[in-house]
Structure 1
Amino acid sequence: KRVGKYVLPGGTLIATSPFDDELNTTREAAAEAGLGDVLTHKANDANWAVGLPPASCDRIYSRMVLHMIAKNVVETYVPQWATALKPGGKLFHTDHNPLDGGTTGPRRPMSDNMMMSMNVTPSDTEAAEIVAGGFVVEDGPFDWLYYPSGYAALYAPALS
């Protein structure tokens, strides 16, 4: 609801998740708040990103996403965000692991055929993946008080 208030009406809110219940909850919350339709996209290993056209988004809000995705999918997904942003566009990324990088080690898929990661990646790992995907840190990382052990950062596409 909070994100939708700033986007709708007049904009388009696209929600992605690998979980049907999260997509249903998003649609229901938008309807209850009178925000209108929200486009939802069920993510899977072969198609995590929506395939947004270049320069089609003003803002991208990534909330607790990257820790769930296998590294090879992240390497495809994050550059799509950079391409999808309009000039002056921003990426706000938050996740739920501590700033001190208390969780260590690479992503470990739940199985060979699953995209989802069992361990939470350290914030510095995710930041490096976002930068490698075509972004620069504009502000942060800073404590994300919405989730007690989380962090957040604001990114802008790197100039090419």
Structure 2
Amino acid sequence: MSIRQATMANLDAIASIESACFPQAEAATKDEFAKRIQYYGNHFWLLIDENQIVSFVDGFVTNQKDLSDEMYEKASLHDEAGQWQMIFGVNTLPSYRKKGYAAKLLERMIDDAQSQNRKGIVLTCKDALVPYYAKFGFIDEGISEKSVHGGVRWHQMRLTF
């Protein structure tokens, strides 16, 4: 297994994994992923197993302290000099789940964000995943007031370095 950054050559595989992981109302589109790779491919981590992408984590960097729905749709808001690394998605193919692969990517993202001198990382998740992210040091800040993405109630969680 190896970890590397995404390129446009990975677009179809990324869109396919997203479709397998999220309901249509919550899933990013292929066009949105193309923009994400274009603007912040260096903040898009892929886990590769025998030349197949099995998991990915992505999100841009910003000076905005809280994650908002606008961020999902506008990759151009990425600011490489930003203080906060956002996470927009943690995706693992269903047949590869419960093997620690997403954890490997999260640990790499955390290491990279720390080495880039960010203040920390922000994500939103559903109720059931709060304990999972807490294992990495993320603190639940309660229900997000800025994200109702896909018509869902999201917890905002923050890992401050």
- For the pair shown, the structure with the greater C-alpha radius of gyration is 1
Q: TM-score, normalised by structure 2?
A: 0.44
Point out the structure with the larger helix share: 2
TM-score by length of structure 1 reads 0.44
